[in-house]
């Protein structure tokens, strides 16, 4: 079993829809939870990070962490064609410092 | 300056060549990383430098040799690579060194390497 599981998609939704992206994990020691966005042929870009459980909102993006279920989500409201990219969840243990574990990424396409 | 730069953007090399990839950041970050990314896969960690010292080597073959000449610059020296080493090589930096927490990593655009 992988430490972090993420549905690779592809996921295609119409412009303006609410998008829900999810990851599950098995390591209960994970404390930091991140979402990266990667456009084709570019490096990943850090979108949001959350410490422990709870919600965090930034503009059209909301990250949720449920540590009891080992489940994290990223919601995108009023989705735009420019949101079309691969979204990678990532997480790490405080004690492991530099090493972050990535999910496999979900390819998202927003149809105009 | 809030970005990580990488050169070259593309590199084609033969299996007997020696080449180097370069990464720079001027954000005062204390840790720098090399990742390898194959198509449709997540980045795989190769090396971590913290305060200019190698702190993590993920059992990477010796044909990859990292170097950190100063706090802003990171190189990856390549020698006798194999075709299966063809990939996107990403550099990243984070504000905190080791020990600490580096969840906040900033990536460069990558060097697309092809080994023939």
Of B51, B52, B1, give the one whose Cα is nearest residue B26.
B1
User: Is residue B76 pLDDT above 90, yes or no?
Assistant: yes
Arithmetic mean of pLDDT, B9-18: 94
Exposure b/e, A46-66, CB count within 10 A at least 16 = b? bbbbbeeeeeeeeeebbbbbe
Predicted confidence band at B104 (pLDDT cuts at 50, 70, 90)? confident
Lowest model confidence (mean pLDDT) among A105-109, B6-10, B96-100: B96-100
Minimum mean pLDDT range among A4-13, A76-85, B63-72, B93-102: B93-102
Among A23, A87, A98, the strongest candidate for a mutation testing the B interface, having the largest count of B CBs within 10 A, is A98
> Is the Cβ of A42 closer than 8 Å to some Cβ of chain B?
yes
**Is A99 in CB contact (< 8 Å) with chain B?**
yes
Chain-centre distance for alpha carbon A42:
17
Residue of A25, A97, A95, A101 whose CA lies nearest to A65: A25
Query: What mean pLDDT value characterizes chain B?
Result: 92
Distance from CA of A43 to the nearest CA of B (A): 4
pLDDT for the residue B68 = 96
In chain B, what residues touch A90 (CB-CB under 8 Å)? Answer: 103
Partners of A69 in beta bridges: none
Q: Is B66 an interface residue toward A (CB < 8 Å)?
A: no
pLDDT value at position A52? Answer: 83
pLDDT tens string for chain A (112 positions)? 778 999 888 999 999 999 999 999 999 988 899 999 999 989 999 999 998 888 999 999 999 999 999 999 999 999 999 999 999 999 988 766 568 899 999 999 999 9
List, in order, residues 6 or more apart from A54 with CB less than 8 Å away: A64, A65
Structure tokens at B74: 């990171």
State the pLDDT at residue A89: 97
How would residue B101 be classed by pLDDT, with cut points 50, 70 and 90?
Answer: low
Averaged over B1-24, what is the pLDDT?
92
């Amino acid at each position: 079993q992988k430490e972090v599981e993420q549905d690779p998609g592809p996921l295609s939704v119409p412009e303006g829809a609410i998008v829900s992206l999810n990851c599950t994990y098995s390591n209960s020691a994970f404390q930091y939870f991140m979402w990266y966005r990667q456009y084709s042929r570019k490096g990943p870009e850090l979108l949001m990070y959350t410490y422990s459980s709870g919600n965090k909102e930034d503009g059209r993006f909301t990250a949720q962490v449920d540590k009891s279920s080992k489940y994290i989500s990223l919601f995108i409201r009023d989705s735009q064609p420019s949101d079309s990219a691969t979204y990678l969840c990532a997480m790490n243990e405080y004690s492991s410092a530099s090493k972050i574990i990535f999910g496999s990424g979900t390819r998202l396409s927003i149809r105009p | 300056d809030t970005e990580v730069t990488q050169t070259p953007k593309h590199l084609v090399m033969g299996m007997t060549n020696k080449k180097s990839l370069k990464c720079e950041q001027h954000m005062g970050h204390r840790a720098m990383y090399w990742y390898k990314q194959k198509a449709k896969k997540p980045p795989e960690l190769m090396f971590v430098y913290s305060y200019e010292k190698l702190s993590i080597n993920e059992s990477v073959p010796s044909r990859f040799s990292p170097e950190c000449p100063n706090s802003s610059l990171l190189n990856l020296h390549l020698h006798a690579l194999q075709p299966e080493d063809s990939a996107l090589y990403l550099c990243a930096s984070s504000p905190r060194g080791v020990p600490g927490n580096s969840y906040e990593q900033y990536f460069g655009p990558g060097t697309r390497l092809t080994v023939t």
